[in-house]
A and B are shown apart, each in its own frame.
Chain A
Amino acid sequence: MLQEESDLSLIIAQIVQKLKGSNLYSQLERQAWASLQRPEIKLESLKEDIKEFFKISGWEKKLQNAVYGELSVFPLPSHPAAPPEHLKEPLVYMRKAQGSWEKRILKSLNSMCTELSIPLARKRPVGEQKELLNKWNEMGTDEPDLSLFRPVYAPKDFLEVLINLRNPNYENGDSLSFRTHLGLIQIPLKVKDIPELKECFVELGLNTGQLGIDDSTQVPPELFENEHVRIGQKVLAEQDSAAAQQYIRQGSPTALRAELWALILNISSEPEDVLYYEQLKTNVIQHDLLVDSLIYKDVKLTASNDDYYFVFEDYLYQVLLCFSRDTSVLSHFAYNSASPPKSYIRGKLGLEEYAVFYPPNGVIPFHGFSMYVAPLCFLYHEPSKLYQIFREMYVRFFFRLHSISSHPSGIVSLCLLFETLLQTYLPQLFYHLREIGAQPLRISFKWMVRAFSGYLATDQLLLLWDRILGYNSLEILAVLAAAVFAFRAVNLMEVTSLAAAEAVLADLSTLKVMPLLQIFLFATVT
């Protein structure tokens, strides 16, 4: 009991510390001072009266949402004496692996730099600045020569790194046994099995209404949909983050989704936020970074070629170019196993005073990165709001998909979860695919790294991302990947090569996500 209490007070102290630096704190202070004018505030019972005032005026709700947001994002401290690296990643070998992967990426970036003799960053001449400002809303029309640029890495390169990850303390033994893991990932991390997943995702059960299933044309809306929409509107009226997160586990109605996501991510468009975005825009105009070309290349290669997202090309530039310059993103490296790459001013290599983070936000984009933003363009049209939502989604979820860590939502765990589910519940299929040289992870990896963006139809993708937000976890990606394999199992059993297996799974655009998940979790005989 005592331990729990001291843990709690530690957590409270940390959150208070964090919130003290935020905007909300100064707003609350201002509100408290202003409230002194009100007649109901009396000097004798000052504390209670102000608390009461906050409750009525909705400021308490805002504070609640902020606290809830912090709890969702920050991992709980394990021990007061734990060094900061442990917050990033407790396992040493994982940290080492991430470190060497980062070195490789940086080397690749530097060599591209020297090869093309382009500086990592340069200040734009005034003429160029003016031109860019004019073209800000249509940067997609620009056709810079990007042929010499290559993406720094692609998901399949990252997969190779994960395949070669080994725990030095784990002795697998040479003999094969029923415990042997037949997949590509050879790390002994704890992953959930179906009974545990059923408990975790209880709201996706057969007896609970879902959007994506119970709103289909055959089902009369009175049965579930109307009531669900009504509750959604109520949740929005109350402006309660925690309630929204619980609500969205059953899916979000199309009309309410944009606001619900903003509520869960605790994004409110204050004038300061818009100003911050404008500041970032000015940074983009004034300085040109090498990563900008990488971003251009990525957008042109992926989103512009997509049948549906090509329309939003300009928004993607506006978001991603600003994102690279946003130093507030650096704070997420406290709980990300990755570390921002450092670069040194010319001639001052090794001197810490002349070190800067490059790119300023510490995130080097890879092939397909722009697909994280593309689906959001469907929901948000105001650039600064779109930007905030994307940034929050990145620092809460997406960063885990391309850094090596032992977190249950990290990509390593997701891969292991996927393979374990397949091996345990579809052993024949798994074995068959392995025999023909088509390890299932080789096909599903790219889906999970992109959180299925660009592979599923947009409305299905948004239903999936509803659940990511609702459960505050990415495990559902691995479950969906396994469910897709289960769905196409009959065809997959007949293929005889990796290429044929890829062909069977090439087109996911007709899949309905929620029925697949429901059947896999709740209706398969285990």
Chain B
Amino acid sequence: MFLSALREHARIYFVNPHKNVPREGQKSEYHAFQPSTSSPQGYGRQDLTFENQNYKGHGLSKGKEREGEWDFYWCDLSWLRENSDHTYMDEHVRISHFRNHYELTRKNYMVKNLKRFRKQLEREAGKLEAAKCDFFPKTFELPSEYHLFVEEFRKNPGITWIMKPVARSQGKGIFLFRRLKDIMDWRKDTRNSDDQKDDITVENYVAQRYIENPYLIGGRKFDLRVYVLVMSYIPLRAWLYRDGFARFSNTRFTLNSIDDQYVHLTNVAVQKTSPDYHPKKGSKWMLQRFRQYLASKHGPQAVETLFRDMDNIFIKSLQSVQKVIISDKHCFELYGYDILIDQDLKPWLLEVNASPSLTASSQEDYELKTCLLEDTLHVVDMEARLTGREKRVGGFDLMWNDGPVSREDGPPDLSGMGNFVTNTHLGCVNDRKKQLRQLFCSLQVQKKASS
């Protein structure tokens, strides 16, 4: 499809100056323009691009920059901030972010929303249900919750904490500490430097309990990157992509050197600067490989439980911001979830990214990301080919449709006794090409039959 021409390090977007909703049979004509704003600093994202000649044949062509004349916009977060309030969008138009996505993706807001949701669950459904929200380590927003943090800190002497800036990505500005003295010094430093820069507001940080017993493979720490596509919040419709990857740190894990960020931070962006880094390696395992490895070590049951727990993380985190996110039928969002597994095979949520990196570090990575984008576009369904009742589109499985989605077809088992298996296949076989072929064939047949 048109994404076959994707390359790294480029930027582009789709746009349609004709403002036509393609009718059946009509070849969709999307035109793209390149926005004049450059990628905002701090997000450091690389965006994908199309080569002019390559997508012409697929119904896409590069157009001229024209404000507001587009049908589909894979937008930059900065553009969103500046323009989303006053841009009029037709009904069919789609845009790739929710206006206040930061409720989920900025660490301090996410923590706040999760805490609030947990309290609500405890009130409504009891302690057991609320305990299902215990997938994020104890977190405090700084500087506002500084005193609460100090209290917790004093209660647990000797443990390690991690300090993360709320709005930065790719591992920038993160450090570990064990003594209050360390952050006192840091506080003084940032205060001093901030006085000189009048325009920049004081950055917010979160202090989070560092997970000291991560699951190690080959002696190395890793985290998982999983992709979740949310089509709407009210009602909540979320899809889970089958592929993803585990990112390894290049050096062996040890708690002795908390200054060595190469040990602890597994983002590829950080690992790329490590002296051990070999670009050929990529330091990533596809999730299928990771799942197989765990199964051969712990058995299929344990792996099933782990992946169920991860499903729980995705759903609960989305539910916690459901009422807060400004619902807009034009919006959808592809999130990149970062999950850390500890030695007891318990998954922890590190953070949610609204603009997951789409730069490829290897051939395999490139395939994954292009297929991911292609399937995202299939689910968004600008061409209006889907019936809306599909449970699987390519590599995406419908995980939540205003309620849990079951793997089994047929009426839901309301007795509550049946074996409800969620319709997620994270780390499983992804025969997307075949599935897409079958899907679109049958859709065509259905359309023909009904006309």
Contact = CB atoms under 8 A, between A and B. Distances in A.
Interface of A: 137-138, 140-141, 217, 254-255, 257-258, 304-305, 307-308, 310-315, 377-379, 381, 458-459
Given A258-B296, A307-B362, 20 more contacts: A138-B219, A138-B251, A138-B252, A141-B276, A217-B428, A254-B296, A254-B300, A305-B278, A305-B280, A305-B281, A307-B282, A307-B284, A308-B289, A311-B218, A314-B218, A314-B252, A377-B218, A378-B296, A458-B289, A459-B292
B252 A141 contact: yes
Contacts of A311: 217-218, 220, 248, 285
Given A137-B252, A254-B300, A258-B296, A310 B276 contact: no
A378 B251 contact: no
A141 B285 CA distance: 20
Contacts of B139: none
B296 A379 contact: yes
The A interface is mostly helix, strand or loop, or mixed, namely helix
B293 interface: yes
Nearest to B429: A217
B295 interface: yes
B218 A313 contact: yes
Given A304-B281, A315-B218, A255 B429 contact: no
A254 B295 CA distance: 7
Contacts of B278: 304-305
Nearest to A462: B296
Interface centre among A257, A310, A381 (most CB of B within 10 A): A310
A223 to B, nearest CB: 18
Contacts of B292: 254, 458-459
Contacts of B428: 217
Nearest to A305: B280
Interface of B: 217-220, 248, 251-252, 276, 278, 280-285, 289, 292-293, 295-297, 299-300, 362, 364, 428-429, 431
Contact of B297 (A137, A140, A381): A381
B293 A314 contact: no
Contact of A255 (B293, B299, B431): B299
Contacts of B299: 255
A381 B297 CA distance: 9
Contacts of A312: 218
B429 A314 contact: no
A231 B298 CA distance: 19
B59 to A, nearest CB: 29
Contacts of B296: 254-255, 257-258, 378-379
B254 to A, nearest CB: 9
B364 A378 contact: no
A249 to B, nearest CB: 19
A311 B247 CA distance: 11
Contacts of A258: 296
A78 B281 CA distance: 51
Nearest to B218: A311
Given A254-B300, A310-B283, A311-B220, A141 B295 contact: no
Contacts of B219: 137-138, 314
B253 to A, nearest CB: 10
A315 B292 CA distance: 19
Contacts of A138: 219, 251-252
Closest 5 CB pairs of A and B: A311-B218, A138-B252, A255-B299, A254-B296, A312-B218
A254 B285 CA distance: 18
20 contacts: A217-B428, A254-B292, A254-B295, A254-B300, A255-B295, A257-B296, A304-B281, A305-B280, A307-B282, A307-B362, A307-B364, A308-B289, A310-B281, A311-B248, A311-B285, A313-B218, A314-B252, A315-B218, A377-B218, A378-B296
